[in-house]
Chains A and B, each alone.
Chain A
Amino acid sequence: MARARVDGRELAAIFAGGFVGAIARLALADAWPPRAAHWPWATFVVNIAGGLALGCFAAALHDRTPVPSYRLRFLGTGFCGALTTFSTMQLELLRMLDAGDGALAAGYALVSIAGGIAAVAIGTAAVRRVRARTATA
């Protein structure tokens, strides 16, 4: 069944998830302030953790349903989407290149992307394995 083009409940779920995710990301950035010419740990950690969480949530909530649920909109689109950030990572990379630190920039980009994809794969595989085990038990 097609959902209305603008579903207020869906938008509310995304807003609520985004609200929590953005505050969590900023709180971590405050606790772990970035330093020039250093690995941006706060951004790196939220991005990897958000990739892992999205892999889990999507596998648990969306693998067998055609339309994403409100719960997935809250947890995935809202929370994981806002917890993780692309723009901050790109600005950090540009500043590393500004400082002539190409090796740090290449390492940060490579480890973030490879780590992020690995985190999605691990989250997805873990949830599917648990589901397969409970289904046969």
Chain B
Amino acid sequence: MSALVVVGVGALGGLGAIARFLLDEAIGRRAGRAFPYGILAVNLSGALALGFVAGVALHGDAYRLVAGGLLGAYTTFSTWVFDSHRLGEEGRPWLGALNVVASLLLGLAAVWLGRHAGAAL
């Protein structure tokens, strides 16, 4: 990676993390915090966008910046498994399991859909 691409990945990664936080907060304020709807929405929208980027066959540094920097940092695995674990710990293991299964299956559907849309352009 050239120095410029490294800085670009970092900057887009920082912006992706901020976008994740703001969307999660906005959804959490409206939908409540009993279930992690916010991170679910972040991860599904990010999977849709990554599918699209792969579908339009973006490559090289452009792919690295958008897919690796922005979307990689916008979506998150750690908060997804963390919330699932804490739901179980708080006595709601079925909600934790639902969070795991719904994210996984809908995430696959989102990335597939995004790729179809991108390839159709």
Contacts and interface: CB of A to CB of B under 8 A. Distances in A.
Interface residues of B, number: 49
Contacts of B80: 86, 116
A14 to B, nearest CB: 5
Contacts of A18: 10, 13-18, 73
Contacts of A23: 6, 9-10, 13
Interface in B77-121: 77-82, 84-85, 88, 100, 103-104, 107-108, 110-112, 115
A15 B77 contact: no
Interface string B60-81: 0000100111011111111111
Interface string B34-76: 0000000001001101110010000000001001110111111
B70 to A, nearest CB: 8
A117 interface: yes
Nearest to A27: B1
The B interface, classified by DSSP as helix, strand, loop or mixed, is helix
Given A17-B17, A18-B14, A22-B12, A54 B50 contact: no
B13 A82 contact: yes
A82 to B, nearest CB: 3
Range of interface residues on A (Cβ < 8 Å): 35 or more
B31 interface: no
B78 A26 contact: no
A94 B115 contact: yes
Interface centre among B1, B51, B103, B111 (most CB of A within 10 A): B111
A55 B80 CA distance: 12
Given A54-B82, A90-B111, A26 B68 contact: yes
26 contacts: A11-B21, A14-B18, A16-B14, A17-B14, A17-B17, A18-B15, A21-B73, A22-B10, A22-B13, A22-B16, A22-B17, A22-B69, A22-B72, A23-B13, A26-B69, A47-B77, A50-B77, A76-B79, A86-B107, A88-B75, A91-B54, A94-B112, A113-B81, A117-B84, A117-B100, A120-B81
Interface of A: 11, 14-23, 25-27, 29-30, 47, 50-51, 53-55, 58, 73, 76-78, 80-91, 93-94, 97, 109, 112-113, 116-117, 119-121, 124
Interface of B: 1, 6, 9-18, 20-21, 43, 46-47, 49-51, 54, 64, 67-69, 71-82, 84-85, 88, 100, 103-104, 107-108, 110-112, 115
